[in-house]
Amino acid sequence: MKKNLLIGGIAALLIAGCAKSTDHKASRSAKAGATGNAVSREAPQLAKLAAEGKLPPLNERLPKNPKVITPYERVGVYGGDWRVAQVGGYLTHITRYQGYENLVRWTAGWGGIEPNLAESYEVSPDSSEYTFHLREGLKWSDGESFDAEDILFWYEDVFMHPQLVPGKSPIFMQNQKPVIVEKINQYTVKFKFSRPNGLFLQQLAQVGNVAHQYLPKHYFKQFHIKYNPDADALAREFGYTDWVALFIAKGGTGDPSDTVYQNGDKPVLDAWKFTIAPGAGAQAVAERNPYYWKVDTQGNQLPYLDRIVYDFLQDTDELISKILNGGIDWMDQYFAVPANRGLIYENQEKGGYRLFSTSSTEPNAAIVQFNLNHPDPNLRELFQNKYFRIGVSHAINRQEIIDKVYSGQGIPAQAAPRPGTEFYHEGLAKQYIEYNPKTANAALDQAGLTKRDSEGFRLRPDGKRVGFIFEIDSGRNEFVEIVELLQIYLKQVGIDAQIRTMDRSLWEIRVRSNWEFDATIHRFGGGIGQAVLLDPRYYLPLNGNSVYAPAWQAWYTNPTGAGSRTKPEEPPPQVKRSMELYDKIKETGNTTEQIKLMQQILEIAADQFYVIGLLWAGEGYGIVKNNFCNTPPTMPWSWEYPHPAPENPPQFFIDPSM
């Protein structure tokens, strides 16, 4: 992977902040992954508790070799709150702030992979076996040890349990066979695959793949029937039908989800732990973990900040008001769209903040996705007709969308890897992007939609009007604005498009978990470097993120349909060919071979034309308070690189002198 994925920056928007108060800026180097045992200092509150005998002394709370983090600007000071906000009830974004502690993780700036919970690791020559050496003495937030037993508990009692995890995560499966996890000793575990698995290490570094290290056995065994014969009775006391329902409700799947963050009792390995969990009110609070296992270069235990305080807001207008009045310390979610850039920029002095820039790593900023596996056979036939999708694509005035919704920042493009990367495919990126109603009408005619009603709308073969409903996450204002424009464009070519907006949590259920939706707009996915290999959701129906083909991806990931609402359906030959090629990518550790195989997948994607992209976005932005320090002025933006998590938020701090 390239050492630096960011080029340039919006220099005019970047105002000097904390960096000007120091004359020695720490470099991002291998030192960020170093270990050592020179810890000597801790937060005053924790020192007081230790002196009173309410906490063990610091050297007993930390592992033998804590992970050492090199501060971005300078060694910080203890104290203060990090004020952020959530719009709507969807909680997964919390992972960006306090939930990214994998066995291995991305380095800051996305230059590679480094050990994290694992102090070191080895990969077999054929990439079929991965051995991880955990940090000796590492502890959960309640002081209990974290070791190989916790990972074995996840594997034997959760992952392999047919009721708890009926649909297995693809990263732990090969040819429908699960990985074998072995305990070598108290601090060493081995993951064994039947064949080479060349992407496993990168997949473990991704934000969502954390279940195997997020389930404290000592806590969860009270809810598991294997360890507690009275678990069903306990579940009924909590109001659940059985122990399985209670176990899952307590966050027992381990992956980032609403239930994981809503359980404030669950011990964590993160820098902060919820004391007021989300769902208890309009605010959630996470406080410093006294057993956190990272230190700075002078031996100070991290994190510097006492708490993260989340305000749960109704809409982005409320969030923007809070930003302008200085109520947010670091954030770029929900509000940071081009339409708001001028307002945010003009009020920097009033709000006491500065702007930072982000560089998108995604294949597109807004991707139109029709449900190719719609349960209505008429809509299924319509959406699967490639000429229908081509007609819709030519009916879209991308430049007008860029000008009106994205303030002129963006380049018309389909959903495809970006230029300048080894995966760039010009045919996929540039096909069908010309705004041409005449060409659009011709393609729709070729799709067999030649008849119209008295209002000029096209008719399907069954005599009904050609129309559908876009189901949109209401928290993404730009998507709502786009659909309002799409309604106009599509009406001009005889298509009746409607819109239904909803909270993100409901969108997740309606679109990602229920295959009865018509169409939607979303983003994310791989657009550069390793992200193209790790998340090619728009290049083939890979997993639940490929919402445009829920039944095809289910055939690939969960062919029996066990535990899923989605009924698997065998895909067409070319789609199956892409899946075979992706299996080959996973089975080789040879980078050159992986690139060649991915290029073949992209060639098929160009031919199949699964989804309709609108634009490659320009640089993004966010805000950071002027006294909020150790935050870089620019960083990659994506879900695969869940910024700011890889930038090490535990080393962020507030300078009381500023």
**How far is 138 from 150, CA to CA, in rounded Å?**
12
What does the pLDDT read at residue 255?
67
Tell whether the model's pLDDT for residue 53 goes beyond 50.
Answer: yes
Task: Provide mean pLDDT across the span 570-576.
Answer: 97
| CB-CB neighbours of 426 under 10 Å | 10
* Phi/psi of residue 335, nearest 5 degrees: -100, -20
What's the N-to-C CA distance of the chain in angstroms? 38
**How far is 325 from 308, CA to CA, in rounded Å?**
19
> What ranges do the domains of the chain cover?
11-215+252-360+620-654, 367-617
Both tokens assigned to 187: 């601090």
* Residue 329 near residue 79 (C-beta atoms within 8 A): no
175 versus 384: which is more confidently predicted? 384
64 versus 1: which is more confidently predicted? 64
Residue 157 DSSP symbol: I
CATH topology of domain 11-215+252-360+620-654: D-Maltodextrin-Binding Protein; domain 2 (3.40.190)
CATH class name, domain 367-617: alpha beta
pTM for the model stands at 0.83
Would strands 180-185 and 129-134 be described as parallel, antiparallel, or unpaired?
Answer: unpaired
What does the pLDDT read at residue 174?
82
Residue 280 DSSP symbol: S
| CB-CB neighbours of 343 under 10 Å | 12
List pLDDT tens digits, range 308-326. Answer: 999 999 889 999 999 999 9
Residue 281 DSSP symbol: S
Intrachain domains 11-215+252-360+620-654 and 367-617 with the same fold: no
Q: Could you identify the residue written with the tokens 């074995």?
A: 152
List pLDDT tens digits, range 225-280. Answer: 999 999 999 999 999 999 999 999 999 887 666 678 889 999 999 999 999 999 87
* Residue 519 near residue 468 (C-beta atoms within 8 A): yes
Chain-wide mean pLDDT for the chain? 90
